[in-house]
Structure 1
Amino acid sequence: MHRLLIGLLACVLHAGSWASPPIEVTILCDAGYPPYSYAEGYQARGLYQDILRVAFARMPEYRVHIRPLPWARALAELAKGRAFALYPPYHRPAERPWMDYSRPILREKLVVFLRAEVARTLPDERFPQAYGGLRIGQNSGFINIPDQDYQRMLARGELQQVYGKDNRTSLAMLYRGRLDAYINDRRAVLWELERMHSDGVLGDNGLSWIVEGPWLTGEEGHLGYTRRNPQAYPYKEDFKQRLDAVLTDLEREGVIYRIVSRYDAIYALHLRSAGI
């Protein structure tokens, strides 16, 4: 019996010695898109990070490291094949043919925010027809206004599109009158406005200067994978399939809903509608 136990133990140790270690994977994330994805020091934070950390914990075959970078730089790294994956791009296959996508992780709501004094001058609420001549803010690297009328007005010079590096920069431009309107996710804008208000950036004006305009569309964030330099990422298809399966489970189990609900409770500011 003693020899049998020793033999079994030897077999177990031998098998363990042949077990493959987890594959080391580095994923980039947007460093300036709170509350969805941002950096504190060198650490990734945000709603997507919270969801994906739960997902990666269910993928023991991989040890995932998340590295925050400015969005435009992170996109460039993926486009050149120098990075494996990035979150949270929207699904834009025509503009980014070098990217593959995970299943959707989370749905965001794109909304137009306007200076109150500008909103009062608009003839009606139609977007973008009523916005001729206005300076519209967006964040660098985002391609998130697929509306054909909007694109035609841009091409004809009837709208001016102005880019800021992140939400705070763009909202500060809106506050100071360097923009007439700003388009981004509603949750992200409210989150940043509350912090600007708490930091005293808005002075004594509170939120009387800004109004919430029309809701445009919903956009879904993904994990985007490079199609370039495939020999550097031989595990790509396996990783993609495993993550999609785990995300499906997390949605079915209500895990994603519970994480999102925690973030919705962070801010209490509410904007009045344009009331045009």
Structure 2
Amino acid sequence: MRMLLMVLAGCAMHANSWASAPIDVVILCDAGYPPYSYAEGDEAKGLYTDILRTAFTRMPEYNVHIRPVPWARGLAEVASGRAFALYPPYHRPNARPWMDFSRPILREKVVVFVRAELARIRTVEHFPFGYSGLRIGVNRGFMSIDDQDYQSMLATGALKQSYANDNRTNLARLYHGRIDVYINDRLSVQWELEQMQRESIFAQSDLNWLVEGPWLSGEAGYLGYTRLNASAYPYKPKFMQRLDEILAELERDGSIERLTKSYDLVNPLYSPGDGI
């Protein structure tokens, strides 16, 4: 009898240990969206990665592995149910009916960047009327600027808008005076400016030729979950609920704001409020 009790006790301990083992979860991330989500070798980096890793430390019931992939491949894997989740898609439920979304992780900010000599003589905080006659640069594929006055000024020729492929090309155009203004995501532009400074692409060591103008808009990034192949991810409902709770906690306690500020330029750009 005593031996039987010992065996049963051992089985119970083993069962409890097995039941409490964390669930392995694989999440994909965009490998090419710095500074928000990118890869260095096989390692996931970026602001969204930092926020989610912080959240996952508060979810010990899951052992989360983050795997960087090209964006198009990640979307295809989630769309087919081969992958559990991917970050950071924008909220597009109509375009992606096969995807469920977490609560917003972070709101990205679209900002106007202006050559400093123009900011000294223009009321650049008054967008778009303070920009009449200027040349605006944007990236190809960039979301349209949802401002009726801006669109009207483009239609009448009061503003000129041109395109380049990426941040680096448009920042070089801005630096050399081929455009007057560049509009894009704030942190993405700051990240590229730092890379270009390190590579000595700009003649001067500082960025006093550039001013950060008004913030125009922004979209939030999410963790997007597949709606397909549900039997492969039985933990999905509880995982979604728990992550949303923790993301709300991180927002309330200031963790997301602190992580975001850590991605700002070491020497911030001038802004119209700085009295340039």
TM-score after normalising by structure 2: 0.74
Q: Tell me, in whole angstroms, the C-alpha distance in 1 between the residues paired with 2:98 and 2:162.
A: 25
Corresponding residue of 1:168: 168
In structure 2, relative to structure 1, the CA distance for the partners of 1:77 and 1:272 (3 Å cut) is same
Q: In 2, are the aligned partners of 1:135 and 1:162 still within 8 Å (CA)?
A: no
Give 1:77's aligned amino acid: A
Corresponding residue of 2:68: 67
* 1:126 match: secondary structure: coil
Q: Does 1:101 align with 2:101?
A: yes
User: How do 1:151-230 and structure 2 match up within 5 A?
Assistant: 151=151, 159-165=160-166, 167-204=167-204, 206-225=206-225, 230=228
Q: Tell me, in whole angstroms, the C-alpha distance in 1 between the residues paired with 2:73 and 2:133.
A: 32
User: Considering only aligned residues, what root-mean-square deviation do their CA atoms show, in Å?
Assistant: 3.9
Give 1:64's aligned amino acid: H
* 2:212 match: secondary structure: strand
* 2:145 match: secondary structure: coil
Q: In 2, are the aligned partners of 1:108 and 1:219 still within 8 Å (CA)?
A: yes
Give 1:255's aligned amino acid: S
The Cα shift of 1:217 comes to 3.3
The Cα shift of 1:202 comes to 0.6
Q: Tell me, in whole angstroms, the C-alpha distance in 1 between the residues paired with 2:229 and 2:177.
A: 49
The Cα shift of 1:251 comes to 2.8
* 1:51 match: secondary structure: helix
Give 1:28's aligned amino acid: C
The Cα shift of 1:87 comes to 2.7
Q: Tell me, in whole angstroms, the C-alpha distance in 2 between the residues paired with 1:42 and 1:65.
A: 10
Q: Does 1:9 align with 2:7?
A: no
Q: Tell me, in whole angstroms, the C-alpha distance in 2 between the residues paired with 1:224 and 1:151.
A: 32
The Cα shift of 1:113 comes to 0.2
Q: Give the length in aligned residue pairs.
A: 269
User: How do 1:82-161 and structure 2 match up within 5 A?
Assistant: 84-91=84-91, 99-116=99-116, 119=119, 125-131=125-131, 134-139=134-139, 142-143=142-143, 145-151=145-151, 159-161=160-162
Moved more, 107-116 or 124-133: 124-133
Corresponding residue of 1:231: 229
Write the deviation string for residues 141-195 of structure 1: whole angstroms up to 9, x where unpaired.
5537333433455577754252433x43432332234443222343443343234
Same amino acid, percent of matched pairs:
50
The Cα shift of 1:8 comes to 0.3
Q: Tell me, in whole angstroms, the C-alpha distance in 2 between the residues paired with 1:79 and 1:10.
A: 39
In structure 2, relative to structure 1, the CA distance for the partners of 1:240 and 1:156 (3 Å cut) is farther
In structure 2, relative to structure 1, the CA distance for the partners of 1:94 and 1:41 (3 Å cut) is same
Q: Tell me, in whole angstroms, the C-alpha distance in 2 between the residues paired with 1:142 and 1:256.
A: 25
Give 1:231's aligned amino acid: N
Give 1:267's aligned amino acid: V
Give 2:28's aligned amino acid: I
Give 1:57's aligned amino acid: T
Q: Tell me, in whole angstroms, the C-alpha distance in 2 between the residues paired with 1:163 and 1:267.
A: 27
In structure 2, relative to structure 1, the CA distance for the partners of 1:65 and 1:196 (3 Å cut) is same
Q: In 1, are the aligned partners of 2:28 and 2:66 still within 8 Å (CA)?
A: yes
Write the deviation string for residues 44-99 of structure 1: whole angstroms up to 9, x where unpaired.
21221111012223333453323143x5x368537854655433344455676665
* 1:259 match: secondary structure: helix
In structure 2, relative to structure 1, the CA distance for the partners of 1:252 and 1:96 (3 Å cut) is same
Corresponding residue of 1:273: 272
Q: In 2, are the aligned partners of 1:137 and 1:164 still within 8 Å (CA)?
A: no
Q: Tell me, in whole angstroms, the C-alpha distance in 2 between the residues paired with 1:66 and 1:149.
A: 42
Q: Tell me, in whole angstroms, the C-alpha distance in 2 between the residues paired with 1:90 and 1:103.
A: 11
Q: In 1, are the aligned partners of 2:210 and 2:269 still within 8 Å (CA)?
A: no
Corresponding residue of 2:76: 77
Q: In 2, are the aligned partners of 1:103 and 1:222 still within 8 Å (CA)?
A: yes
